[in-house]
Structure 1
Amino acid sequence: MNSGAAVPGAVGVLGGGRMGAGIAHAFLLAGARVVVVERNDEQADAAGERVRAAIRASIDRGTTTEAEEILAGRLRLATDVAAFPGCSLVVEAVPEDRALKLDALRRVEDVLDADAVLASNTSSISIDDLASELHRPGAFLGLHFFNPVPASSLVEIILGQATTPELAATALGWVHALGKTPVTVRDAPGFASSRLGVAIALEAIRMLEEGVASADDIDAAMVLGYKFPIGPLRLTDQVGLDVRLGIAEYLNEKLGERFAPPQLLRDKVAAGELGRKSGRGFFDWDGA
């Protein structure tokens, strides 16, 4: 699976939502012990169930030969970053908000061992910007996993100006050890994946807003004509319209009007139509 590469023996994940649980699951399958920290006991329990559900799905698919109790036995749930000492790597996976991420990263850095690595799962926020607020910017980088983590083969490694060459090489090995493919990019607004993905999604939303075609037909054009595995509108529903809006607003600020969010996207977020997680976005997800 990993061609001789290895993940850290102990990995921390701050945030146990869908992304955080997926990241935890990936490291568990690769042999690491994983600590997931959430805000309270209820959310920690929910995160644990997400990870265990992902483990069971992996067993059903035959992607792991380890028993559920063995894999789950390497998982620890906690409600305080004080659980992270001993982890060689901690991945921050809180919502895509600069202030929230900075607060989370500072709290984690304060308790980490001196040789530990800190990473952000941000999909768009500048790694250099975040690193400028940390004490050890050389031991910090972006590890952008994709949703859903178990089904995605890609991890985007984002290197800040201060990220050491040694850490860059080590991160490549970690991603290979997870059985995934790394792409390495320098820090820039939206990196590579989010910048391209959001540009396509925003144009698809504008087309829907202008009545060019239905959501089904816009997506079908990209799936059948360009071999996309999923259409840009359905993917936006899976990512979350609120998440797309936040990234678009950030890119609009940094890169200009070509990333201005369409009014339709703003209206749907204001109405609580956030995609799959709310039951409705550009498509109806009730029962999905």
Structure 2
Amino acid sequence: MAGRLEGKVIIVAGAGGIGSGIANYLADEGATIVVGDINGDGAERVAQEIVSRGGTAVATALDGADEASAAEIVALAVSRFGGLDGIHINFASLDIARPNGKPTDVLGQDLDDYDAAMRVNARGYLVCTRAAIPALVRRGGGSIVYTATNSIYNGAADLMGYAMSKAPILPLMRHVATRHGAEGIRANAISPGLIVHADLEAVLSEEHLTGYANAAPVKRLGRPRHIAAVSALLMSDDGDFITGQVIAVDGGAFMRP
């Protein structure tokens, strides 16, 4: 496999529906992939998909909110492949976004669910960032990409807790871009709309999916490859003058300055 990411070692943290698409896309662009997920078997399946097509990938179990686990995946990338050029932090606690009928407004939000989501979606992104920066600096710089969500902006009545748990990603991203830019580190966030993959299709009705599609000017749903394509740009030398930005990938469903 050869492409614009040839020679780059990239961690993909979170190997679910979107993460799998990101890992495979970046590998097709020539990157060496280290993929981690709380579901270690799922991460291994993604790595094997890449290897079966001639790419280079290894997998490991990752609890992104645990400092030791985050340090281990960075150490794996460095020891196995000699360094780290980028990390896409993509995992999320989704139980708070799909709470099986529990209320998710400010009065009804279950606080145990909220605390669990904050641990993963807020603390986890900080923990993985802290683990990755020293390795990126030793490499002469690199790219950190964060998966945020348009729910931060759109005031969704049924996703208050989820939006709050993901909102801290944006000040973290901007801090990293400012504080470590002189060291060659770029940081950006991708803000998806509804991105459809097998896990979501199993729990969302056709009516729900059609409604989301009709709400977007492009009148169709996003797929993991749409997120992956932007990640590839931000990881590549073509994107080396982009930092501190939030890039919406939502078919125009939510337009903002």
Higher relative contact order (CA 8 A, sep 6+): 2
Larger radius of gyration: 1
